[in-house]
Every structure is written in C-alpha cells, then in structure tokens.
Structure 1
Amino acid sequence: MYIADRYENTDRKDIENFIAENSFGILVNQTEGKLWATHIPLELDLNEKGEQVLYGHISKENPQWKGFAENDQVLAIFSGPHAYISSSWYDFENVPTWNYSAVHIYGTVKIIDGQAEIAHLTKLVDKYEAHSENPVSVGKFSKKTMMQTRGIVTFEIAIQQIQAVRKLSQNRDEKNFNSIITELEKLSDPNAKAVAADMRKCPFSK
C-alpha cells in the first residue's frame, strides 16, 4: 500500500501489538482467476523453526484455500480504529481528511494439519476464552466435537514483507494536533475516541 513517509510505522513491537489487538483480519489471494477475500482471525506466532508467521483457518467449503496451491502469494490486512477529521477543527483553511492505522502483511501460505493444526486452534481458543466466566478449551473437547475440525483448512503464512501506517495528523502543528484530539474526544463514536487515544500515544506528537 502507499504510505507517505511521515505516516510509516517501523516499530516492530508496536506492529506486533497492533496485530494482537486487531487480529480479526482479511485474507486476500487469487482464487479461480479472481481476487478473493475472507474475514477471519489471524494470529501472529512462532512456528516450529522459531520463525514468526501468521496462522489462521477457513471453512473447507470456502474455495479460497484451493487457490493456495495455484498461487501461494497472499495478503493479510489488519485495520485499527479510524475517524473522520473535520477541517473545521483547524485554525486555518484546509480540506477534511481521515485518520487511521493499518498493517499489511505479504507472504506465502501453506496448509498445515496434525499437531500443528491442533496447536493453532488451542492457542486461538485460549486467547479469546481468557476473559470468559466459564472458559472452554480445545483439550477438553470430546472426540465428536473435535471431528468438526475436518471441516476447516488450517494454514501458515511465512512473512515476506510488513507495511504499517499510522496516519494520525502528524503533519499538523502542536496546537492543531491537540485541537483534533479534543474534538474527537467530544464525539460519541468509539472509533473517534480510540483514534484520539492513539494520537495521545503517537511518537510524532509534541
């Protein structure tokens, strides 16, 4: 994706945290001669070789996985909070814009099964059950329930390139930067408040 220099995020730890917090992503590839996209959780983890990869799974009824064999190049997209920025909040005339954060990961995909698949599913369920009052776990599922894994295709994405953007009004002076935060915090939209919070943490702010 195109990223203006001032908005590029190269902080690897920050990117990893962003993916963990916004892990419901979009997997894009070419399937049956056209672009195909699926909305699924994608987890950043280490494989058995100690390499950082993305893990995910899709329904076997979803034809997207059949495209993995034809072309193993995929794109994973992660989106964070975003908000409209009114130019009425500036002390000068300009056009409105949009603030947002996103990460694109390009890589090669391969299907996994066996213990690697179970390990992925176990970590995924444990992550999202952590705050449940009565958490379930893959290890306690019956054989009958586990048979449902036959209906999914689990995959691993070897990471080739990471692109990350944090467009948070870093091109504004301190007065206008803080004015944007104030106006966003007045709104009832949770996205606007989240963008304001991101701006307060932005390393480019003064």
Structure 2
Amino acid sequence: MYLPAAFRQDDLAELHRQIVDSRLATLVSHAADGLQASHLPLLLVPEEGPFGTLYGHFARANPHGRVLAEGGSALAVFSGPDAYVSPSWYPAKAEHGKVVPTWNYIAVHAQGRAEVFDEPARLLDLLARLSDRHEAGRAQPWALGDAPREYIDAMLRAIVGFALPIERLEGKWKLGQNRSAADRQGVRDGLGASTDARDRELAQRMNHPS
C-alpha cells in the first residue's frame, strides 16, 4: 500500500480497532491461474502473535481454500469509512484556486501465510466465536446450539477454516493531514453537513485522526 508518512497509522490498538469495526474483509491470494479474492467476516485474536491472528472459513468448494493450503502469502484488506472531498470546501480555493478533488479514507492491510484446518471441534469453536460476536447486542441472540446438532455437523463438513498469523500490518488514515488546519476544518464542515451517513462518519473520524 502506498503509504506517505503523513497518513501512516502505527498504533496497534487503533489498527486492531479498525479490523474489528470492518465487518467484512477482502482476502486476496495469488494462485497459479491468477489472483483469488474472497469477501469474508474475519475474527481477530489480538493476543496471538506480535500483530494478532485472523481466523475465518471458506466453503469447501471455494478454490481459495486450496490456494491458502499451498502456503502462499495472503492479504486481508479492511476498509473503514471513506468520502469524496470537494475542493469547494477548502478556504484555499478562494485564495488561489489551486485545489483539486480527492478522497479521504481509512484502510488496514494485514499480510501473512495461513494454516488451513478442518477439524470439527476447531471449526465449531470458530463458528461459535464468530456468531457470538455478530449476535452480541441482539435482544434474542442466535447461538449454534439453537440448530440441530446433526445439521451443524453437516455444515462443518462443507467448510474449511484457516488461521492467518499477521506478519505485516499497515494502516492508512488519509484524513487531510497534509492540508492546512483551515482546509481540514472546511472538509469536516462539508462532510458533517452531508445527508450521507458515510460522509458524516468520516467527518467524525477526522476529529480524532489517531
């Protein structure tokens, strides 16, 4: 990832927080016939390894699982809020007009080599942890035990899991840090007044760029 120093995010807690907040990741691997990309909910276990370990699962029929089993490197991309930035929001536009549109965004890249597994007990634990995480806060959260065990056992035979110890972790918080304080405030105001909730979310993140 192209990572100018002004936009680099090195705080491990912030990087982990963004991974957790990004509910769906894009996992990319290089296969013999080209790139494989899958869109997956991933579970972060922060205490495993220097940067944490990611866990997920594929349908057994998905060839991406076989690619990971061959030992190649994989890249998980976690996207945060993003928004178009209009040059009309910069006070500098009125001063000299030398401004152009850009895009502000937050992204985290996690890279490593995966271990693929299909032991039923390990898969069951992974599915329970993933569903518990995403069911949290619901009035009547669903749990694996709510489904018949023979049905769950059949589902386990149809998937493979993987663990991806993170070997390289990069974060990019492109939030206008290279602009003047006045220009940054103009962007915050412009995004904050938007009718698009995604724009307003990014405006909030610009108030706390670290």
For 1:169 and 1:91, locate their aligned partners in 2 and report how far apart those are by CA, in whole Å: 14
For residues 107-132 of structure 1, what are the alpha-carbon distances to aligned partners after superposition, in whole Å with 9 as ceiling and x for unaligned? 00111233322221111000111122
Whether the aligned pair in 1 keeps the contact of 2:29 and 2:35 (CA below 8 Å) is yes
Partner SS, residue 75 of structure 1: strand
Matching residue of 2:102: 97
For 1:153 and 1:140, locate their aligned partners in 2 and report how far apart those are by CA, in whole Å: 22
Whether the aligned pair in 1 keeps the contact of 2:56 and 2:163 (CA below 8 Å) is yes
For 1:116 and 1:153, locate their aligned partners in 2 and report how far apart those are by CA, in whole Å: 10
Matching residue of 1:181: 188
For 1:144 and 1:127, locate their aligned partners in 2 and report how far apart those are by CA, in whole Å: 23
Q: How many residues align?
A: 201
Q: CA RMSD in A?
A: 1.5
**2:166 matches 1:159:** yes
Partner SS, residue 76 of structure 1: strand
For 2:30 and 2:176, locate their aligned partners in 1 and report how far apart those are by CA, in whole Å: 34
Partner SS, residue 84 of structure 1: strand
For 1:161 and 1:23, locate their aligned partners in 2 and report how far apart those are by CA, in whole Å: 20
For 1:108 and 1:5, locate their aligned partners in 2 and report how far apart those are by CA, in whole Å: 27
Percent of counterpart pairs with the same letter?
31
**2:141 matches 1:135:** yes
Give the unaligned 5+ runs of structure 1.
none
Matching residue of 2:42: 42
For 1:45 and 1:31, locate their aligned partners in 2 and report how far apart those are by CA, in whole Å: 27
Report the residue type matching 2:174 in the other structure.
Answer: K
Partner SS, residue 136 of structure 1: coil
Whether the aligned pair in 1 keeps the contact of 2:91 and 2:186 (CA below 8 Å) is no
**Aligned-pair CA distance for 1:46:** 5.3
**Aligned-pair CA distance for 1:11:** 0.6
**Aligned-pair CA distance for 1:197:** 0.6
For 1:164 and 1:152, locate their aligned partners in 2 and report how far apart those are by CA, in whole Å: 30
Partner SS, residue 181 of structure 1: helix
Partner SS, residue 135 of structure 1: coil
**Aligned-pair CA distance for 1:140:** 4.0
For residues 72-107 of structure 1, what are the alpha-carbon distances to aligned partners after superposition, in whole Å with 9 as ceiling and x for unaligned? 310100001100001111122211100000000010
For 2:11 and 2:150, locate their aligned partners in 1 and report how far apart those are by CA, in whole Å: 44
After TM superposition, the structure 1 = structure 2 runs for residues 62-81 of structure 1, keeping only pairs within 5 Å, are 62-81=62-81
The worse-fitting range, judged by mean Cα deviation, of 143-152 and 8-17 is: 143-152
